[in-house]
Structure 1
Amino acid sequence: MSNLLDSLTTELRRGTLTLAVLSQLRTPQYGYSLVQLLKESGITIDQSTLYPLLRRLEKQELVSSSWDTSESRPRKYYVLSDYGLEIFLKLKEDWMSISKELYTILREDEENDVD
């Protein structure tokens, strides 16, 4: 049961992490700053998960990246592309609708458990 639950939890988190990352890229962020922003919001993401996700989002043309070499340590910044913003806003709308529907279903289920 533990392996199944872990697998299902990972599957559930995968889509939500994508949405969470996109939500933070309206302004340019580098990897560590993105991890910190998400952590402040209560969302934990490992760098081993974040960087492959950022590469995938860039390949899908949802984000663009650029290097900042003005400081002693070069940093790669990521930001939503125009297309990425359009997709993010649609995903956000869909997520809000699905969340509301799911909350209603789970709430009804919880009330039935009390009976």
Structure 2
Amino acid sequence: MAIQVSTEILEGSVLALLTTQDYYGYAITREIKKSFPISESTMYPILRRLKKEEWLSTYDEAYEGRNRRYYQITDLGREHLEQIKVNWQELKAATDAILEGKNEE
């Protein structure tokens, strides 16, 4: 994919992923990488920002002698995801109109 993915699209993708189940950080990165070319160094700042905004919460669980930090979407996160979806539809419609030559007044 040659087009750079915006932070808001990545945030929305993470929030959408977490509507189905809780994931630990590396698993989130692995799942998002199936659709977008991102790295762990890209994903962890996004997770921190989502948590800071209270769109995600975290909890730790032991796994093979270590703790894994799991992320789960909050009610505020679900609200934010719905706004991202609205914004995405508006951007998509505007972009499609321009690219398809239908941007006439």
TM-score normalized by the length of structure 1: 0.75
Gaps in structure 2 of 5+ consecutive residues: none
Range moving further from structure 2, 52-61 or 20-29: 20-29
- For the pair 1:43 / 2:36, whether they are aligned, the reply is yes
The residue that corresponds to 1:4 in the other structure is: none
Structure ranking higher in strand proportion? 2
Rg (Cα) greater in structure: 1
Matched residues, number: 99
The higher relative CO (CA closer than 8 Å, separation ≥ 6) is in 2
The residue that corresponds to 1:53 in the other structure is: 46
SS in 2 for 1:65: strand
Give the letter for the 1:30 counterpart. Y
Query: How well do the aligned residues superpose, as a CA RMSD in angstroms?
Result: 1.9
Of 13, 16, 27, which residue of structure 2 is paired with 1:20? 13
The residue that corresponds to 2:23 in the other structure is: 29
Matches within 5 A, 1:1-115: 13-26=6-19, 27-40=21-34, 42-108=35-101
Q: Distance in 2 between matches of 1:21 and 1:77?
A: 13
Gaps in structure 1 of 5+ consecutive residues: 1-8, 110-115
Identity of aligned residues (%): 32
Runs of 4+ in 1 over 4 A off after TM superposition: none
SS in 1 for 2:66: coil
Structure ranking higher in helix proportion? 1
Q: Distance in 1 between matches of 2:78 and 2:8?
A: 16
